[in-house]
Amino acid sequence: MWLHARRTVVIAALVLGSLLLAPNPGGGPDSSRKAKAHNAQVHEAPLQPGPFGFADVRRLAQERAGHDFRPPPDTLPAELAKLSYDQYRDIRFRPESALWRGQALFEVQFFHRGASSKQRVNIFEVTDEGVRPLTYNRASFAFGHLLKPPRVPADLGFAGFRVHYPLQSAAYKDELITFLGASYFRVLGRNQYYGLSARGLAIDTGAPSGEEFPTFTDFWLLRPGPHDRTLTVFALLDSKSVAGAYQFQIRPGATTQVEVHSALYPRRAIAKLGVAPLTSMFFYGEDGGRHFDDYRPQVHDSDGLMTQTGHGQWIWRPLTNPRELRVNRFIDDNPRGFGLIQRERAFVHYEDVEAHYEARPSYWVEPLENWGRGGVELVEIPSDEEIHDNIVAYWVPQQAVTAGKPLYFAYLLSAFAQASHWPPGGRVVATRSGNPSVGDNKGHFGPGARRILVDFAGGELDGLDRSQPVLAQTTAANGQVEALTVQRVPESGAWRVAFVATPKTRKPVDLQCYLTLHGEVLTETWVYQWTP
């Protein structure tokens, strides 16, 4: 069970690289379900009687953007504010008190406020009869042996909620999606464990000025029918810079999909807007670099950034845990998708019987309209502990974000374990690097040289005889590639590209590589940044 958003470390140092990849907002549809409001209140904005849907949430967001930001309440009774981590974790919602218990495939449980989850969110249920607030009831919670039931006000409210659904079997309803903390939410497909997170919006991530964290302040849950397999949730987002309306349509399965429509109303100009942000953890992997005294071969929730450009090119960028903050933007027009992916799926790669990193989901973002020109930005933050989310990826539109000019974005977020169509051809299955003087292919290379090995597999590659003239197309910005070889590895069946890269200066070296046969591209493009 996820109890709070991981703390993100922000480092002031900045290393900026630039490569390939793109949006401009398009319109989001008003998808609504009719319901009559019975004097429901959203902060100071009353809901008028009549149909309630996404258009109403957009109106509330636009009205809220018309005045200064008012932080949501986070004041708590002392006995809740001072809870330890273990005490707070011991508070459990009673399943028998779940919303829609025994009435639908979906059920909703709520998070208690306390400790690091102090902020109150307003939660409403939307039915054909109207809109009603969901109120706190102490009897719905078990407080465990570490804490006596606290004396709290009747209007304490909730910190967030989670949706349950019979994802694995009909006998038990598993956690499907969780909304808790700022604008974070996490979603699962079948046979997956919680890992990375999605967010509603990111503002000035990785900037020296510091990051702003918008927050979901209000949610509306549309009551599903007894056999409905789609759940709709509306949300109101707010921060110093922007107010926004969100619609989430959640469709569970082996790949769980969340269709997101957002309307943003900026209060001021925003230097860097991060659309559809994904947040993950990469501690260390199979590649060289930073070493930690740990028995596990690898530790990460995601091991690469994958993108498909507007021109259809697939790109794979292995993640790193750098020694200083790295920010890279991949420029594009109308991207077809991007995501943080977990490709290593065998237990032997992790040997962790509790964390189950091999079962962490991958998230893929697919725009539902043209996003125009911009770039997918990847932020990699140094981390000495696996408890921190140190990887962030999001779309940055080139279009200036100015006060009073609305923006609209719609996309499909997919949570999956395996998906052969992302990408459909050969893909990178391993990246390794090390001292060029180690191994059988020793040589004399320039200062700072490094030997790099990239393994490709999948698609047409798997059916090619080792005698086929497969070629590696490589480029190196600020570097020189030498001793390049391509061969099929009999033991694994993968096609291995090996070369030595020598930097021209002490600045980062940006490398690219993909495989071809008789001029036909067989694989995605491997993109790698290495700092001498």
Residue 110 CA to residue 108 CA, distance in Å, equals 7
In terms of Cα–Cα distance, which of 520, 20, 14 is closest to 316? 20
Those residues whose C-beta lies under 8 Å from the C-beta of residue 146, and which sit 6 or more positions away, are 84, 86, 87, 90
In terms of Cα–Cα distance, which of 329, 340, 319 is closest to 382? 319
pLDDT digits (tens, 9 = 90+) for 415-468: 999 998 899 999 999 999 988 876 655 667 888 899 999 999 999 999 999 999
Residue 437 CA to residue 500 CA, distance in Å, equals 10
pLDDT digits (tens, 9 = 90+) for 268-307: 999 999 999 999 999 999 986 677 899 999 999 999 999 9
Query: Could you tell me the end-to-end alpha-carbon distance of the chain, in angstroms, rounded to an integer?
Result: 41
pLDDT digits (tens, 9 = 90+) for 48-93: 345 689 999 999 999 999 999 999 888 999 889 989 988 999 999 9
Mean of all residue pLDDT scores within the chain: 89
* HSE toward the beta carbon, residue 494, CA cutoff 13 A: 14
pLDDT digits (tens, 9 = 90+) for 476-492: 999 999 999 999 999 99
- pLDDT at position 146: 77
Q: What mean pLDDT comes out for the span 131-148?
A: 90
pLDDT digits (tens, 9 = 90+) for 98-138: 999 999 999 999 999 998 899 999 999 999 888 999 999 99
Alpha helix positions (H), 107-252: none
Residue 186 CA to residue 285 CA, distance in Å, equals 23
Domains along the chain with CATH numbers: 15-416 (2.70.98.10), 427-530 (2.60.40.10)
pLDDT digits (tens, 9 = 90+) for 322-352: 999 999 999 999 999 999 999 999 999 999 9
- pLDDT at position 24: 30
Residue 475 CA to residue 449 CA, distance in Å, equals 15
350 — phi, psi (to 5°)? -125, -40
Is this structure's pTM higher than 0.85? yes
Read off the pLDDT band of 224 (50, 70, 90): very high
CB < 8 Å & 24+ apart, contacts of 164-171: 164/98, 164/106, 164/107, 164/108, 164/109, 165/105, 165/106, 165/107, 165/252, 166/105, 167/252, 167/256
pLDDT digits (tens, 9 = 90+) for 8-46: 333 333 333 333 332 333 333 343 333 333 333 333 334
pLDDT exceeds cutoff 60 at 237? yes
Query: What percent of the chain shows pLDDT beyond 90?
Result: 77
Contact 233, 239 (CB under 8 A): no
